[in-house]
Amino acid sequence: MASYPVFLLRRFGQFLLVVFIGISATFFVTHLTPIDPVEESIGSIQQMGQSDPRAVELMRQSLRALYGLEGSIWQQYLHFWGRLATGDLGPSLSAFPTPVSTIILRSLPWTIGLMTVSTLITFILGNIVGALAGYYRKNMALKAVSLIFIAMQPIPYYIFAFVLIILFGYVWPILPINGGYEMNTNLNLSLALILDILKHSILPALSLILVGTGSWLIGMRALVSNIITEDYVVFAELGGVQKRRILRSYIARNAMVPQFTGLAMSLGAIFNGTVITEIVFGYPGIGNLLISAVHAGDYSLVLGLSALSIVGVAAAVFIIDVLSPLIDPRIKVE
């Protein structure tokens, strides 16, 4: 463990490099799209009846300066990093001059709420069913449940989203199919609001849970299948230790170590949002925000959302890497 500080430093350097490369790539990709935020803004202004060609050209120049889009792409790139270094994501270009951070913070809680809950439910459900199915391999009920989740796992989650909308929005219309809350709800914190938000999150969460559970289940079942052949499990069984205790204390606890690594990565990826789910259900999260930003050519907002996602995933992986040698004695830092 003497080399751990060196490992930590090296790993932190890698983390910074990944973030730098990821954000740089996003910067250039967004700036190379054919959609120009200045033209988008001019389009909006033209809708207000302005068509004087001389004025439009002057407006184009003004907006380019106002949005910080003057100069070469390299100058803009350096300017962008200079601003980001101070924690400033800049103003949104489609909602100028509102800061990108303000707009993201308005949508982020919705995504974090939806994704955290659905990820945790998926994780818990998948691991419990996976552990049971791996241990009680002859149990027909567990086999059937596993088969259902595994069969659903390769199906794209938006297919489930549409199926759920048809079932619970039209055939048996008991759940809302659009938005994060009822349109006429007061957003002051109250029990009614919380219940309403929960009600609106059921179908989007369900579409993620139905598909996501299978992958945790497969992983856990495979881990358990390997562990049950280990000597200490065989000895425990021969020694007459209760099956429930063997599963809980001998098998599941060991199998959970890599699963928690996966959970940490999934939680880090929460900042990616779930674009299609949010669009299908009209959910007011960052996935929806990202799409509207792309359509509006809002570089700043796309970059802000991408930076959040890149830092989230990279940080999750970094934390797992640096904690693993401390938690798991089988991992050595060389």
Partner 1 sequence: MQHWKKLAFGVALATLGLMAAAKADDYTSLPRKETLIVENPEGTIKNPGWFNIWVNGGGGVSTGLQQLTMDTLWYIDPEQGLGGSTWDNSLAADKPQYNADFTEMTVKLRKGLYWSDGVEFTADDVVYTVKTQMDHPGMVWSAAFSVQVASVEATDPYTVVFKLKKPNSRFHALFTVRWNGAWIMPKHIFEKVADPVRYDFANPISLGAYKLKAYDPQGKWYTWEKRDDWQRTSLARFGEPAPKYVTYVDPGPPDKRTIAQIEHNLDIIHDNTPEGMFTLKEKSKTVDSWFPGFPFAHPDPTLPAVIFNTQDPTFQNPDVRWALALLIDIKAVDMASYRGAATLSALGVPPTAIAMKDYQAPLQDWLKTFEIDTGKRKIKPYDPTVGQQIADILRKQPKFKDQIPTDPAAINTAFGYGWWKPDPQAAAELLEKAGFKKTGGKWMTPDGQPFKIRMSVEGDTRSVFTRAGTLIAQQWAAFGIDSKAVPSTSLWQTSLQPGDFQVAIAWSVETWGGDPDLSFFLDSWHSEFVAKKGENQPPRNWQRWSNPELDKIIESIRKVSADDPKGIELGNDYLKLVAREMPTIPLMSYNVFTSMDTTYWKGYPTIADPYTDPVPNWANSRLMMVKLKPAQP
Specify the residue, 200 or 221, whose C-beta has the smaller distance to partner 1.
Answer: 200
Number of Cβ within a 10 Å radius of residue 323: 14
Specify the residue, 127 or 277, whose C-beta has the smaller distance to partner 1.
Answer: 277
Least Cβ distance, residue 52 to partner 1 (angstroms):
6
In three-state secondary structure terms, 298 is: coil
Least Cβ distance, residue 27 to partner 1 (angstroms):
20
- Tokens 């909006």 label which residue? 44
Least Cβ distance, residue 197 to partner 1 (angstroms):
11
Give the containing element (helix H, strand E) for 318: helix 299-327
Contact 77, 27 (CB under 8 A): yes
Contact 177, 165 (CB under 8 A): yes
HSE-CB at 8 with a 13 A cutoff on CA atoms is: 10
Specify the residue, 176 or 212, whose C-beta has the smaller distance to partner 1.
Answer: 176
Least Cβ distance, residue 301 to partner 1 (angstroms):
9
Specify the residue, 51 or 72, whose C-beta has the smaller distance to partner 1.
Answer: 51
Length of the chain: 334
Specify the residue, 166 or 326, whose C-beta has the smaller distance to partner 1.
Answer: 166
Least Cβ distance, residue 44 to partner 1 (angstroms):
5
- Tokens 């489609």 label which residue? 94
- What residue ranges bind partner 1 (CB under 8 A)? 34-36, 39-41, 43-63, 65-66, 92, 94-98, 103, 106, 178-181, 183-188, 190-193, 282, 284, 292, 295, 297
In three-state secondary structure terms, 99 is: strand
CA separation for the pair 90, 84 (Å, rounded): 8
